[in-house]
Amino acid sequence: MQKVGKKIWQRGDLFIWWTGAGLALSLIMTVALLFGVVLNASQFFWPGEIQVVSLKDNSSILGMQMEREMIPDLGDVAKKTDTYRIQIKRGNRDIYNSDFIWVDEKDIKSIHLPDEVVAIERREWGYFFGHIKEVRDGDKVVAHGTTESLQAIIDKLPQSKTINEQIKRVQKKEIGTINHKMERVRLKLKKLTLADITTGKEVDALKQEIPRLQAEYKILEKKLTELRTSQTAQLVLQTIEGKEKLLPLSQVLDIYNPNQFSLLDKVVYFMRSIQKFICDDPREANTEGGVFPAIFGTILMVLIMSMLATPVGVLAAFYLREYARQGAMVSIVRIAVNNLAGVPSIVFGIFGVGFFIYTLGGSIDQLFFPEALPTPTFGTGGILWASLTMALLTVPVVIVSTEEGLAAVPKGIREASLALGATKFETTWRVVLPSVMPSVLTGLILAMARAAGEVAPLMITGVVKLAPTLPIDGFWPFIHLERKFMHLGFHIYDVGFQSPNVDAARPMVFATTLLLILMVIFLNMAAVYLRNRLRKQLTASAV
Amino acid sequence: MTDETQQNKSGPEASRPDRAFFSRNIVKRLLVNRIATGVVTSGGWIIIGSILAILFVIVGEFYPLFKEPTLTLDREFKTRSVPLAVGIDPYQEKAYAVEKDGIRFYSLLGKKFISQPEIPEWNSAQVTGVFASQKDFLVLGLSDGRIYPMQIEFRPSYDSESRRTIEPFLLVEDAFQIQNDGSPVTLLAHLKNEHGYQIAARSAKGQVSLVSVRLRKTMMGTTRKSISQKTISVPVQGEITAMVFDEAHNNLLLGTSYGQIFQVDLDDPEHPSQLVGATRRPGVAVTHLGFVLGGYSLIVSDSDGAVFSTQLQKISAGKFKLTKIYDFQPHENQSHLFSISLRNKGFLTGSKKMVRLHYGTTGETQLSLSVPDNAEYKAITLAPKFDGILAADTTGTLHLWKMNNPYPQMSIKSLFSRVWYEGYDEPDYVWQSTGGSDEFESKLSLVPLIFGTLKGTLYAMLFAVPLAIFAAFYTSQFMDPGLKRTIKPTIEMMAALPSVVLGFFAALVIAPQVETFLPGLALMPFVVTGLILLALLVHEKVPALKFMAHSGKEIYLLVFITFLGGLLSFWMGTLVESSVLMGDHRIWLKQVFEVTYDQRNALVVGLAMGFAIIPIIFTIAEDSLSNVPGHLKASSLALGATPWQTALKVILPTASPGIFSAIMIGFGRAVGETMIVLMATGNTPIMEWSIFNGFRALSANIAVELPEAPEGGTLFRILFLAAFLLFVMTFVINTIAEVVRLRMRKKYQGL
């Protein structure tokens, strides 16, 4: 035994294995993190079963079991209680004030799955779990009992949704248009006042516009009331305690009985909730609904960033490699640019605030939008400034990647081109640039991945938790670069930490996290793939 | 080269959109070439320059913090007679002067006398003493033994062109007879608040007359005045030479010609007095007592010219003591003039020949103003907006200085060394930018934040460096090359994880788990080592099991062992916790080491930040280990060294600069990491090294406070300074790493 031990010691196997354990731990951690995120996120999409938990004091709780943990005994620590408690999501926030309740296992008599039960996703107050007593249309009772009502509602739901859509369109689009026009008129008037024009044809025309818009608004308002009153169907809901609650059908977003779901139904529900998550607008202070505006904001920001960073980065790299005289100065600049990639992102953020927002934005406001002051137009955070800040942050990535590509282009090719009589520019444009294109692309994709995942600089340059409008809409000039926007990463921070109902929102945050990770990893894999292809290509061409 | 590019070169016939560039005309071609060179060169310089300009913008934003305050003499003119006290409106347009025969208003803009308001029942008295508060409430002591309280108001009004005019008004209160024998009143003090006012006047040796006027709102909405007047005797040595009301404790503080400071309790009907402090030595008279804004720091001036600040501290019930805080730059001879700022803790003191501006929080003397010619200062006041100084001298001249001093509390000292703030027992490093009350003084020491940054970085490095270096060592030296091709990108992919994800995961998943399994976590390295040892012995002893760990593919087995070891140690941890650690490690820590356990602490940050920096360190370290020239390894092995010996004695020393630069770059990343520290710590700016406490880092501080900081304000600029520090720190670290790496590359080329 001793001999073996000595042998192992001398050969250093223990140390080799030890170093290997370091790698193993890193791998386990990465996998565990991804696994944890995926697991938690799928919980958000997968339909849970609704249980009835009967307690020993003869009361019952209806809901979905979420977690099980050991009861922390803070009073007497010497005694380890081996008792557990479970967390039940019982919904009905309007009735119970909170979505969740902890129940000690020792108080539980039995748990069973009721057949007749519904889960209703509502426009407000989160989920309702319980029974339906009846469905009314006006004063007439249309259906009795949970099962019959469920069918009746499922039949009526599409129609109700159509009306809801119409209401939303009137509210958002048509009334929004009028509000927009009103604001434009107000600003134009103010602009004229600033230019010392308070009377005249122009002013009169604008002033006449106002009552016309107001009349239009009245008409729309009437239309809205009509639409609203046309929704007469109501549900009489009953909680497990027998408490009744009236719910207009227009408040219902989705209704189902998860306990009767077959596997196929569950898969369908799973897919549909993923689709809703991606395509819907957020509700209830971001804790419910989808993340569409955040996805939109993230992608738009990354696109604007790419449009700004790529040409600039490529130009700088070409200058450094192809045009500048290689010497100490260029080496220093190169090191500086390399290091810039390591400067903390928040530093870029604060630069964006100081320079772009207050200096540039402030001047733009004074020059072009004096009528809107003191409300800043460009002098506050917005998607343009956020993208510019991000572009600055990612330019070094593009420069470094492009430079690497340029260094890999064999000198012989350039010399051949020059020897054939091409000018330097022709060589660069037609010979060097095409062969360095994959490098540029790699840099660009890496830059996009970095920009998509970075939050800190955005927090101070224009991301908000809830943006009322997207940066692109139907009003001229269609792209509103001064608007604030939503971002997936900030959504995680905000909902996970600042939301009033963190417990209820947590699964949703995991879903957002998964989405962001997938996005970033996809971009990175694309970059790796490109780089590998490029390497192969270059080794082939070097022969 | 690819076919594509060769096609491009194949001729100008190829129809391409850029054909316009490539004319057949040689002159045009050369011209285009020239232009392109110009564009690329200038463009390159502009881009690189503007990237580097970041630094300048940041410096430009915080530089004004350290600008020396400046004073410029704006105007001077003669008053009708020598003023005893002066006051000025916030816009520095009008001023009042208390002169022997009453009060006069002057226009500073027009440099002229405006009016002398009629004062009822003046009875051709002369002003012999005056106490003027900064809020323009005055009490005059008159030669006939009366005191006369009055209020001066500067009312702004705006005309249709929104031009401002300021109209001075004098509102007089009732006069009181203090000296029944009609001798003049020379020393006064008063206190005014919404409940009314109190006036103290020296009436005889060791005697103070106290007048208090209380205003009460009646049910009818009118105010009722109740007046009381009494005399207090204080057993002082010498004369009473200075008086001030202490609003916080409802006391009257008295300074004497002997140099003592007494406190008279006004709550107690007996008015007991006690000695609370003294000047440096007996016989040096107290010449002025005054509180700076907030009523907390008492400034004492003496007949030697010394100026120092003190705090009244309670030592036991009813017992107080004055504790000295700062000595300010002294005057050459006795200083008796005084004026405070209504904006901050700044104040003026003045002797006959010199006026100095001090700042109460930092203990610094910012400005000094000597008197012109043969005159002597007679009265001074600080402009209400802290942007000017008005002084009157014995020649009857008013001097108005404009002051540019927007950040008086800022200096290298207040940012980086201990500052004695009001209400603290000792000087300390404190960061507290916002507070509840209006009189809250922001405490802006960067030291706790720098400390927080370093603490977070340190714990992250302690966790990440060994793991990353081990992993790199194993991957580069002992791992099967085929396996390496899949493992390396996997680890590198970790680097792509957004830090907001890591922060979120750390705070909501890792933090509670660490809290539960802390003892297990501590046991883990030992348990895993033990298991590895066991596995090695079994592996060696039982040849049949050799298949489990082929050389270069031990990692499969190791993943399993580590995973098993983790589970085992967590299980053992709970055992240890219930048997040795009193059932709960938090209570054990509290009792044995007296450390409190925060759920979001430096350990959690270390683990999460480890995630972020492991792949960075790993990648660079692995590259430099792999790039060690192959013949070194081959010759070492050929000489009979084992792979471990070769790796440790040959490869590691050669690659050590690369590993060093890997660590530096990881360090740089950890220093600037924002979201993880923002989310996974409590963000409390405390200074404790304990791994179980939170901290606040520079970067998180910027993210938290910048949205609240008004543009151009002190906080705003300090945050830029914080960003500058981060920039410099990371830039220096990265540059060192880069230089080391470049030198190493040259060395390899030589080998």
Chain B residue at shortest CA distance from A79: B583
* Spatial contact of B637 and B646, defined as CB atoms under 8 Å apart: yes
- pLDDT band of A298, cuts 50, 70, 90: very high
Q: What is the pLDDT of residues A477-516, one digit of tens each?
A: 788 888 889 999 999 998 888 877 777 788 888 999 999 9
Q: Is B629 on the interface with A (CB under 8 A)?
A: no
pLDDT score for A541: 59
Q: Is A9 on the interface with B (CB under 8 A)?
A: no
Q: Is A367 on the interface with B (CB under 8 A)?
A: no
Give chain B positions within 8 Å (CB) of A453.
496-501
Q: What is the pLDDT of residues A424-438, one digit of tens each?
A: 888 888 888 888 888
- pLDDT band of B439, cuts 50, 70, 90: low
Mean pLDDT for all residues in chain B: 84
CATH fit for domain B71-411, picks 1.10.3720.10, 2.40.50.100, 2.130.10.10, 3.30.56.10: 2.130.10.10
Question: What's the Rg (C-alpha) of chain A?
Answer: 31
* Spatial contact of B29 and A423, defined as CB atoms under 8 Å apart: yes
Q: Is A39 on the interface with B (CB under 8 A)?
A: no
Q: Is A16 on the interface with B (CB under 8 A)?
A: yes
Mark yes or no for CB contact B532/A18 under 8 Å. yes
- The pLDDT of B19-47, averaged and rounded, is 80
pLDDT score for B324: 87
DSSP for B573-622, please give it: HHHHHHHTSTT-HHHHHHHHT-----SS-HHHHHHHHHHHHHHHHHHHHH
pLDDT score for A539: 64
Compute CA distances A366 → A190, A360, A373, A374, A377, whole Å: 14, 10, 8, 10, 10
pLDDT score for A389: 92
Domain ranges within chain B, ordered by starting residue: 71-411, 447-507+600-750
Q: Is B653 on the interface with A (CB under 8 A)?
A: no
Query: What is the CATH architecture assignment of A295-542?
Result: Orthogonal Bundle (1.10)
> pLDDT higher for B93 or A80?
B93
Q: What is the pLDDT of residues B589-607, one digit of tens each?
A: 877 887 788 888 889 999 9
Percent of chain B with pLDDT over 90: 11
Q: Is A20 on the interface with B (CB under 8 A)?
A: yes
Q: Which two tokens stand for residue B162?
A: 């929104």
- Tell me which of A33, A37, A315, A346 to substitute to probe the interface with B (most B C-beta atoms closer than 10 Å): A346
Q: Is A12 on the interface with B (CB under 8 A)?
A: yes
Which of A4, A350, A413 is the closest to B541 by Cβ? A4
Spatial CB neighbours of B609, under 8 Å, sequence gap ≥ 6: B456, B457, B459, B460, B463, B464, B502, B670, B673, B676, B677
Q: Are strands B137-142 and B127-132 parallel, antiparallel or unpaired?
A: antiparallel
Q: What is the pLDDT of residues B284-336, one digit of tens each?
A: 888 888 888 878 889 999 888 889 999 888 888 778 888 888 889 988 888 88
Q: Is B487 on the interface with A (CB under 8 A)?
A: yes
pLDDT at B465 over 90: yes
Spatial CB neighbours of A241, under 8 Å, sequence gap ≥ 6: A59
pLDDT at B18 over 60: no
Mark yes or no for CB contact B536/A455 under 8 Å. no
Run of H or E including B165: strand B164-172
Give chain A positions within 8 Å (CB) of B727.
343-344, 347
pLDDT at B132 over 90: no
Let me know if the fold of B71-411 is the same as that of B447-507+600-750: no
Cα–Cα dist B95/B380, whole Å: 12
CATH fit for domain B447-507+600-750, picks 1.10.287.70, 3.60.21.10, 3.40.50.11030, 1.10.3720.10: 1.10.3720.10
- The pLDDT of A84-110, averaged and rounded, is 83
- Tell me which of B500, B527, B534 to substitute to probe the interface with A (most A C-beta atoms closer than 10 Å): B500
Give the closest-approach CA distance of A45 to chain B in angstroms.
19
pLDDT score for B497: 87
pLDDT score for B436: 63
Q: Is A38 on the interface with B (CB under 8 A)?
A: no
User: How many CB pairs below 8 Å do chains A and B form together?
Assistant: 334
Q: Which two tokens stand for residue A442?
A: 């790699």
> pLDDT higher for A75 or A413?
A413
- The pLDDT of B274-293, averaged and rounded, is 87
Q: Is A541 on the interface with B (CB under 8 A)?
A: yes
Give chain A positions within 8 Å (CB) of B614.
26
Chain B residue at shortest CA distance from A347: B723
Which of B496, B730, B731 is the closest to A520 by Cβ? B496
pLDDT at B17 over 70: no
- Tell me which of B47, B161, B475 to substitute to probe the interface with A (most A C-beta atoms closer than 10 Å): B47
List of E strands, B490-547 = none
Q: Is B26 on the interface with A (CB under 8 A)?
A: no
Interface of B with A in 665-704 (CB under 8 A): 665, 668-669, 671-675, 678-679, 699, 702-703
* Spatial contact of B457 and B695, defined as CB atoms under 8 Å apart: no
pLDDT at B461 over 90: yes
Mean pLDDT for all residues in chain A: 84
What are A165-168's contacts with CB under 8 Å, separation 24+? A166/A227, A167/A224, A167/A227, A167/A228
- The pLDDT of B280-287, averaged and rounded, is 86
Q: Is A374 on the interface with B (CB under 8 A)?
A: no
- pLDDT band of B42, cuts 50, 70, 90: confident
pLDDT score for B453: 93
pLDDT at B20 over 60: no
Which range of A13-17, A58-62, B613-617 scores highest in mean pLDDT? It is B613-617
Cα–Cα dist B332/A437, whole Å: 76
> pLDDT higher for B99 or A201?
B99
- pLDDT band of B56, cuts 50, 70, 90: confident
Q: What are phi and psi of B279, to 5 degrees?
A: -75, -175
- Tell me which of A2, A11, A25, A429 to substitute to probe the interface with B (most B C-beta atoms closer than 10 Å): A25
Lowest mean pLDDT of A74-78, A240-244, A325-329, A371-375, name the range: A74-78
Mark yes or no for CB contact B720/A79 under 8 Å. no
pLDDT at B11 over 50: no
pLDDT at B162 over 80: no
Give the closest-approach CA distance of B193 to chain A in angstroms.
36
- pLDDT band of A390, cuts 50, 70, 90: very high
pLDDT at A446 over 90: no
DSSP for B54-66, please give it: HHHHHHHHHGGGG
Q: Is A329 on the interface with B (CB under 8 A)?
A: no
Mark yes or no for CB contact A350/B540 under 8 Å. no
- Tell me which of B504, B542, B584 to substitute to probe the interface with A (most A C-beta atoms closer than 10 Å): B504
3-state secondary structure of B287: strand
Give the closest-approach CA distance of B201 to chain A in angstroms.
51
Nearest-5° angle of CA A303, CA A307, CA A310? 120
pLDDT score for B7: 42
CA dihedral B740, B741, B744, B748 (to 10 degrees): 180
Which of A1, A7, A346 is the closest to B699 by Cβ? A346
pLDDT at B710 over 70: yes
Which of A18, A346, A417 is the closest to B672 by Cβ? A346
Q: Is A517 on the interface with B (CB under 8 A)?
A: yes
Interface of A with B in 252-311 (CB under 8 A): none
Q: Is B54 on the interface with A (CB under 8 A)?
A: yes
Q: What is the pLDDT of residues A229-278, one digit of tens each?
A: 888 888 888 888 888 888 888 888 888 888 888 889 999 999 999 999 99
Mark yes or no for CB contact A22/B470 under 8 Å. yes
Which of A17, A449, A492 is the closest to B500 by Cβ? A492
Domain ranges within chain A, ordered by starting residue: 51-116, 133-260, 295-542
Chain A residue at shortest CA distance from B664: A342
Mark yes or no for CB contact A395/B51 under 8 Å. yes
- pLDDT band of B1, cuts 50, 70, 90: very low
Give chain B positions within 8 Å (CB) of A39.
none
pLDDT at B751 over 80: no
ipTM exceeds 0.85, yes or no: yes
Q: What is the pLDDT of residues A40-84, one digit of tens each?
A: 888 888 888 888 888 888 888 888 888 777 776 555 444 555 678
Give chain A positions within 8 Å (CB) of B705.
none
Q: Is A206 on the interface with B (CB under 8 A)?
A: no
pLDDT score for B449: 92
HEC sequence for A216-261: HHHHHHHHHHHHHHCCCEEEEEECCCCCEEEEEHHHEEEEECHHHC
User: How many residues does this entry show for chain B?
Assistant: 751
Q: What pairs with residue B154 in β-bridges?
A: B168
Give chain B positions within 8 Å (CB) of A436.
none
Give the closest-approach CA distance of A160 to chain B in angstroms.
38
Give the closest-approach CA distance of B737 to chain A in angstroms.
9
- Measured between its terminal Cα atoms, the distance across chain B in Å is 32
> pLDDT higher for B14 or A160?
A160
Chain B residue at shortest CA distance from A26: B467
pLDDT at B5 over 50: no
pLDDT at B451 over 90: yes
Chain B residue at shortest CA distance from A319: B44
* Spatial contact of B409 and B360, defined as CB atoms under 8 Å apart: no
Q: Is B208 on the interface with A (CB under 8 A)?
A: no
